[in-house]
Structure 1
């Protein structure tokens, strides 16, 4: 891929639903967004939101049972002169409605504060969280693997 072009290769990460896995997924998302030329301040918001979704899958989806897999996929969406990233975090655990937040339990609020759209889709086969970033102007500043 030549200079000034952005890669559009989707991100796909599958990890075991244990707390240590969240660190690896943060690094992978940050590297992928850098390859898109994503601005640092917006990258921080996206990484935090996806990390919260993964952490919720690990802690709540598999709470009390053997850890299963968590799958994270990311894609860049371009619409005219605007671009967004869309992440989907899937687990095979069981959805439990949020408790009274108290000291903890603010993951969904964090995700909604960092992203333009957050959609939680519980189901019999697990939970899917869809996160869509705020729109940004399309740039050609970054280069990355194609």
Structure 2
């Protein structure tokens, strides 16, 4: 993994998905991740966090924070992938027999990520989202532009 990882704890409430979207979008933009990839990952993370809030705490009894982490992995083929992990302290809830217009979150996550993994344990549910690979970018910042050579400065504005 390279760069600075995103490590957050989100309160289990209806503002958690918007907080996750904002944090992830800012983090990915700072990494100069491709814009179309940012949109896909923000959508997938929104679904995972929304599921943690809506499905894993159905009676409001558990208020353990949602762990929301993201990191970048460099692959052997010199491409990069973002790995997002969403962990909650609730119990996996099977989808209802009739979900009406709801229940598309897993489909959406799988449509925009190369890999989506779900792990239900006695202590909670782990969702791991792995982006499609993109060409690796240097973690070294770009150098500052050099000042113009003497005598080549721009004339003052008129």
**Structure 1 length-normalised TM:** 0.88
Q: Which has the higher contact order (CA 8 A, sep 6+)?
A: 1
Deviations 1:55-111 (A, max 9, x none): 000000111123331111111000132000001000001111122343101110010
Give secondary structure in 1 for the equivalent of 2:102.
Answer: coil
Structure 2 runs not aligned, ≥5 long: 143-158
8 A Cα contact 1:35 1:143, kept in partner = no
Matches within 5 A, 1:79-98: 79-80=75-76, 81-98=78-95
Match of 2:103 among 99, 102, 105: 105
Equivalent residues of 1:37, 1:141 under 8 A apart: no
Aligned residues: 138
Question: Do 2:3 and 2:139's aligned partners in 1 also have CA atoms closer than 8 Å?
Answer: no
Q: Which structure is larger by alpha-carbon Rg, 1 or 2?
A: 2
CA contact (8 A) 1:37 1:140 kept: no
Aligned pairs (5 A) from 1:35-74: 35-66=30-61, 67-74=63-70
Q: Which runs of 4+ in 1 moved over 3 A?
A: 140-144
Partner of 2:149: none
Q: Quick check: 1:62–1:68 contact (8 Å CA) kept in 2? A: no
Aligned CA-pair RMSD: 1.8
Q: 1-side partners of 2:14 and 2:119: how far apart?
A: 22
* Normalised TM-score (structure 2): 0.82
Q: Whose helix proportion is higher, 1 or 2?
A: 1
Segments of 5+ residues of structure 1 without an aligned counterpart are 1-6
Q: Quote how far apart the aligned CAs of 1:141 are.
A: 8.9
